[in-house]
Amino acid sequence: MNLENVNQTENCFSICSEKTTVSTTVHVLLYISAVAVVLLTVLGNLLVIISVCHFKRLHTPNNILILSLAVSDLLVGLISMPLHFIWKIESCWFFGFIFCHIYNFFSFHVTSVSAHNVALIAIDRYFALSHPLRYSKEVSKSVMYIVVLFNWVFSLFYNFALLYSNGNFTDLTMCPGECFLVQDEVWSLVDVLIVFVFPCAVIIILYVGIFFIARKHINSIRKLDIQRNGVDGKHAKDSVTSERKAAKVLGILVCVFLACLIPYYVCIFVSNTIGGEFFYNVINNVLIFFYLNSCINPIIYALFYPCFQKSIKLILTCQIFNMNSSLINVLG
């Protein structure tokens, strides 16, 4: 679009000047909080990426999905989060009309990839637990690379089609200092189904299935322990502890994902029904929760695992620079 066609009305010139008056202290605290979240997101995902790439024992199909998730979340932390936080704190878009389109497309793309990565991890873990023999034979690193590539390519074309079909690249006009996108009701519904409903349904259904499969295995171990020892011995008590821990972890996985995504899509539905500038501003504020999912993901999906805890310790103590450090057994 020709920049000369941007509406230069009197309202346009007042966009960046009509800021909410906040004290300098609050302004500084907002920036400190934003920097802290960005650093936590970037460093957390960067540690996961280095761990999977450096240590050969972590070169497994499941960890390839975790690597893809960490890359998408790292990009959110490097690009989407800083721009969005500056935009909201300053109440003005300083980066121009063209970069606004790039930001919108990139943010849609990487957050979509991240959500589908979470669903793919659930599929991978369910298949590995329910069909261990088939999983070891059929799911190789090459297969997982293809799955990851398809996820990124699909998201790329889907989000381009979504924004282009709604005229965001051709017909949209914005005042200086504004950055927004247009999405009709049909595409909003499609987007909710593809990026939210489908991943959430997969995650909830499969993790519930994983829980019941794990519980079945634990009950089998408990019965075997009783048969051998005649009492509900140490192994049975350990299995109960493992069961509770599994239930807690699964609850955290599902609740965090839903808590980060539900507010955004609820606001999308309300704004399409009611509309207005107020709901548009609410959506942009709630979008922060969507981005926070990229900050929490490395903690939930990687840093809770002993192998990643060990690899991160080796990274932080600079032991990865030692000879043959990539061959260290971080699984043991």
- Residue 6 has a pLDDT of 39
Angstrom distance (rounded) from CA 87 to CA 96: 12
Query: In three state form, how does the secondary structure of 141-182 look?
Result: HHHHHHHHHHHHHHHHHHHHHHHHHCCCCCCCCCCCCCCCCC
What CATH number does domain 22-327 carry, 1.20.1070.10, 3.40.50.11540, 3.50.50.60, 3.40.50.1100?
1.20.1070.10
Residue 330, pLDDT above cutoff 90: no
Residue range 10-59, pLDDT digits in tens: 455 545 655 556 678 888 999 999 999 999 999 999 999 999 999 999 99
Identify which of 195, 213, 215, 35 has the alpha carbon closest to the alpha carbon of residue 117: 195
Residue range 130-151, pLDDT digits in tens: 888 899 889 999 999 999 999 9
Identify which of 142, 148, 92 has the alpha carbon closest to the alpha carbon of residue 116: 148
The chain-wide mean pLDDT, for the chain, equals: 81
Domain ranges within the chain, ordered by starting residue? 22-327
- Residue 222 has a pLDDT of 67
Angstrom distance (rounded) from CA 306 to CA 304: 7
Residue owning tokens 């261990």: 132
Residue 160, pLDDT above cutoff 50: yes
Of 259-268, 275-284, 297-306, the poorest mean pLDDT is in: 275-284
Residue 8, pLDDT above cutoff 50: no
Average pLDDT on 249-263 reads: 79
Angstrom distance (rounded) from CA 139 to CA 77: 30
Helices 61-75 and 97-130 sit at what angle, rounded to 10 degrees? 160
Average pLDDT on 256-280 reads: 74
Residue 167, pLDDT above cutoff 90: no
Average pLDDT on 192-204 reads: 88
The DSSP string of 28-79 is: HHHHHHHHHHHHHHHHHHHHHHHHHHH-GGG-SHHHHHHHHHHHHHHHIIII
